[in-house]
Structure 1
Amino acid sequence: MQNPFSKTYDEDQLRMFDFMQGIKFFERLRQKELARFLPAMHRRKYMRDEVVFFSKDPAQAIYLIKSGKVNLTIDVKDTFETIMEVNRGEAFGENSLLENAKRTYTALIVSDEAELIVIPHFAIQEIFESNPKIKAKMMTSLAEFFNANNQRLFRSYRESFGFFSLRQMFE
């Protein structure tokens, strides 16, 4: 028998929870915790070649991809080099989970159109302040994400026979 005092969610909310739990930064959260994000979420459509944000912009939101493809690029001299393509069911702009962060890459729409769910930084911080467990779970996922990125970076460095100096990272 279901607890008469437990919150029930409609079909759309349950679908959104399933979608969110498939994304690294939300994977540890229970439905009740995911529900805290629902009022802050906005759907936004983008078209091919639209920039979502530029490198060095303030990190003002995290983006969840409902449909479409986004290239994450870095500026190399006079061109953009793609470092990763992100697709449906993935997120980008993860450093908006941190305070006072700036973007490390440019996000560019590469599909004909893309539907993104935008969760503003200020809303995330309000949720974190009122619920430290949500913050702890999401920060653990963020740390795992950054750790995996570091492992890929170092593997790539080893395979490139040292075309750049890792010491530059710390200067």
Structure 2
Amino acid sequence: MLNPFSKTYDEDQLRTFDFMQGINFFERLRQNELSRFLPAMHHRKYVRDEVVFFSKDPAQALYLIKSGKVNLTIDIKDNFETIMEVKQGEAFGENSLLENAKRTYTALIVSDEAELIVIPHFAIQEIFESNPKIKAKMMTSLAEFFNSNNQRLFRSYRESFGFFSLRQMFE
């Protein structure tokens, strides 16, 4: 039986919730929790070779990819080396979930066009402050994301032993 007091959502909102729940940082959230992000979401179109942000920039937003592809690159001397390609249904800029973070990579559009949903850092922090359960769920997802990245990093290091010293990470 439906609760007559529960909030109902229109088709566009339900589609947005389905899209968001397919992204690891939002997968634990219920519809009423996801709805908190709706007023903060901005749709933005980008074109090939447009930079979304540079490494070392302040982490000012989380980006959800509605369409297109984005390369996440690191600067090595005068070159950019792609560390990952992200595509539709994925997110990047995850360190915007943290306070006072700087970007660790540059995000570059590599498809002809890309449509991104931008959620500003300040809006995320306001949601976190007023909804500790949302923050806890999203931080758990972020911790799992970073743990998975660490596992891949260490596996890659083992497979290419000798190119760099892991001890440099802590110096």
| TM-score of the alignment, normalized to the shorter chain, above 0.5 | yes
Distance 1:104 1:162 in 2: 23
TM-superposition CA deviations, 1:102-143 (whole Å, max 9, x none) = 000000000000000000000000000000000000000000
Over 4 Å off, 4+ runs: none
Deviation track 1:48-104 (CA, whole Å, cap 9, x = no partner) reads 000000000000000000000000000001100000000000000000000000000
Alignment correspondent of 2:25: 25
Equivalent pairs counted in the alignment come to: 171
**C-alpha separation between the residues in 2 aligned to 1:57 and 1:161?**
31
In the superposition, the TM-score normalised over structure 1's length comes to 0.99
| Unaligned segments of structure 2, at least 5 residues | none
Partner of 2:25, secondary structure, is helix
Deviation at 1:162, TM superposition (A): 2.2
TM (norm. structure 2) is 0.99
| Deviation of the 1:2 alpha carbon | 1.1
Aligned to 2:110: 110
Deviation at 1:149, TM superposition (A): 0.1
1:55 aligns with 2:50: no
| Counterpart mapping for 1:76-87 below 5 A | 76-87=76-87
**SS of the residue aligned with 1:44?**
strand
Deviation at 1:161, TM superposition (A): 1.8
3-state DSSP of counterpart to 1:103? coil
Matched, 1:151 2:166: no
Task: Give 5+ residue unaligned stretches, structure 1.
Answer: none
- The 3-state SS of whatever aligns with 1:29 is coil
